Structure 1
Amino acid sequence: MKRLLNILISFSLAIFIISGSVIIGLKCKSLYYYDVKKLNISEMSGFTEEEIKQNYDYLIDYNLNKNVAKFHLPTIKYSKEGKIHFEEVRNIFQVVKKVFYISGLISVLGIILSIKNKNIKFLNTASIMTILLPIITVIPLMINFNYFFIKFHEAVFSNDYWIFDPNIDPVINMLPQDVFFHIGIFILAIILMISILLQMSYRVLNKRYK
């Protein structure tokens, strides 16, 4: 029973960290702002830097803020299919947020119970569970991100609306694949750092409780 509880808490904590890292990665608008200059997105898309940031900020708020329920890009035209795709993306992130809150609540309760019983093994297990994602994911990302990107969309979405036509959905011109690659690496880096911190915490506390 104790082992089962440890696995449950560890799994919940790992899910909390991963979902939280995804949310942080998406919220980090400064990463995209850097890419706007680094990748010459303004020149590539034909939009001004101010216009790009305005529409990108809206996309982030639309995905993460449940109060922004209606999709309407501030200055860029979009198709019906494009609108549907962004609605589907928003639904995914709303699920991620719910998972984050639920796993967070379970994790907090589990951590309190575990520490009260001087059981800190969950830190080691959660660290291992969490670090597996960056290790497994970073290999295909580095080898062939384009293939990974396509297969991910094919697996997640039941239609091909994610294949944008720049003529009717010019927003895609301000979202080159390199942007998603950088966000993905940033998210994996956060997960990796937290996993290391969990492992360090486990080793320090394990010595204390011996």
Structure 2
Amino acid sequence: MKLTTPDWPRLSAWTLAVVLPLLIISAVIAAAFNFQPLYEYGFSRYNVAEATGLAPAELTKAAHGLTAYFNSGDEFIDLVVVKDGEPFTLFNEREIIHLYDVKALIRLDYLGLDVSLGYSLLVAGLLFYRRQRQLLAAPVFWGGSLTLAVVAALGLAAAIDFNAFFTRFHMISFANDFWLLDPSTDYLIMLFPGGFWQDAVIFLGLGIVIIAAVAAFIGWRSLGRQNIDKNSGD
């Protein structure tokens, strides 16, 4: 019995069909958490200045403080703004602990982005080096398509009942109930009310869909060209 040698380049390429969704989704989430215009949009749309009593400049300071914290080595956030002309510590202990948990999720997302990006670049680089880049076409098409399917399923769940979707996400993501905050006293909820998160999910979904659709289209076009070249060679 003759044993065949595994086609490692082809197998490596096909792993990208699974890695690509992680890369696209984690990249868009990372970008969104650092996208200041999204914060500013929410503050303006939901009259956050009126709800919090903070001037627009202080809201901008709060947004920059949050993104700086998420990207820092600090364990807990200590964000001081000015309210009614006096220094004001924005978040209470419960909110600080929840933001610590949120930061852990963001760091996990960063890790997923780093690993998936590094792996994708390694595989693609090796295939280009071996002059076998045509092996990327099908995995890129199916990776983009799988990403679209995942987003469609999650989007449908969110569209049917966003509150249930949002609650289930928190129950799965956090091992405690510090995410249960009071919108009348806790500034984290005042800064980011429920409507903001609905808009943010739509923003994330659109970003992921656009990138995944482009990837699937590129893969599809490449497959089409390969078929044309193959038929021409025949």
Q: Distance in 2 between matches of 1:6 and 1:58?
A: 41
Q: Distance in 1 between matches of 2:72 and 2:23?
A: 19
Confirm or deny: 8 A CA contact 1:27 1:60 kept in the other structure. yes
Aligned to 2:115: 102
- Report the alpha carbon displacement of residue 4 of structure 1 after superposing the two structures with TM: 4.4
Q: Which amino acid aligns with 1:151?
A: R
CA RMSD of the aligned region, Å?
1.9
Q: Which amino acid aligns with 2:161?
A: N
Count of paired positions: 209
Is there any run of 5+ residues in structure 1 with no aligned partner, and where? Answer: none
Aligned to 1:61: 68
Q: Give the one of 142, 147, 154 matched to 2:171.
A: 154
- The structure-2 alpha-carbon separation of the partners of 1:123 and 1:179, relative to structure 1 and needing over 3 Å to count, comes to same
- Report the alpha carbon displacement of residue 69 of structure 1 after superposing the two structures with TM: 4.1
Q: Distance in 2 between matches of 1:102 and 1:179?
A: 30
- Report the alpha carbon displacement of residue 105 of structure 1 after superposing the two structures with TM: 0.6
Between 1:53-62 and 1:92-101, the stretch displaced more is: 53-62
Aligned to 1:26: 33
Aligned to 1:11: 18
Confirm or deny: 8 A CA contact 1:17 1:191 kept in the other structure. yes
Give the 3-state SS of the residue equivalent to 1:161 in structure 2: coil
Report which of the two structures shows the higher radius of gyration computed on alpha carbons: 2
- Report the alpha carbon displacement of residue 82 of structure 1 after superposing the two structures with TM: 1.7
Aligned to 1:124: 141
Aligned to 2:232: none
Confirm or deny: 8 A CA contact 2:16 2:140 kept in the other structure. no
Confirm or deny: 8 A CA contact 1:54 1:74 kept in the other structure. no
Between 1:16-25 and 1:104-113, the stretch displaced more is: 104-113
- Report the alpha carbon displacement of residue 49 of structure 1 after superposing the two structures with TM: 1.6
Q: Distance in 2 between matches of 1:66 and 1:40?
A: 29
Matched, 1:72 2:78: yes
Percent of counterpart pairs with the same letter? 22
Is there any run of 5+ residues in structure 2 with no aligned partner, and where? Answer: 1-5, 82-88, 228-234
Q: Distance in 1 between matches of 2:63 and 2:193?
A: 13
Matched, 1:172 2:178: no
* C-alpha distance after superposition, 1:20-69 (max 9, x if no partner): 01011112211221222222111122222221221122112212x13444
Question: Aligned runs of 1:134-149 on 2, under 5 Å?
Answer: 134-149=151-166
Confirm or deny: 8 A CA contact 2:20 2:144 kept in the other structure. no
Confirm or deny: 8 A CA contact 1:42 1:49 kept in the other structure. yes
Q: Give the one of 48, 51, 56 matched to 1:41.
A: 48
Q: Distance in 2 between matches of 1:15 and 1:131?
A: 12
Confirm or deny: 8 A CA contact 2:21 2:143 kept in the other structure. yes
Confirm or deny: 8 A CA contact 2:76 2:96 kept in the other structure. no
TM-score computed with the length of structure 2 as normaliser: 0.81
Between 1:185-194 and 1:113-122, the stretch displaced more is: 113-122
Give the 3-state SS of the residue equivalent to 1:90 in structure 2: helix
Q: Which amino acid aligns with 1:42?
A: A
Q: Distance in 1 between matches of 2:196 and 2:184?
A: 20
Confirm or deny: 8 A CA contact 1:61 1:68 kept in the other structure. no
Q: Distance in 1 between matches of 2:125 and 2:147?
A: 20
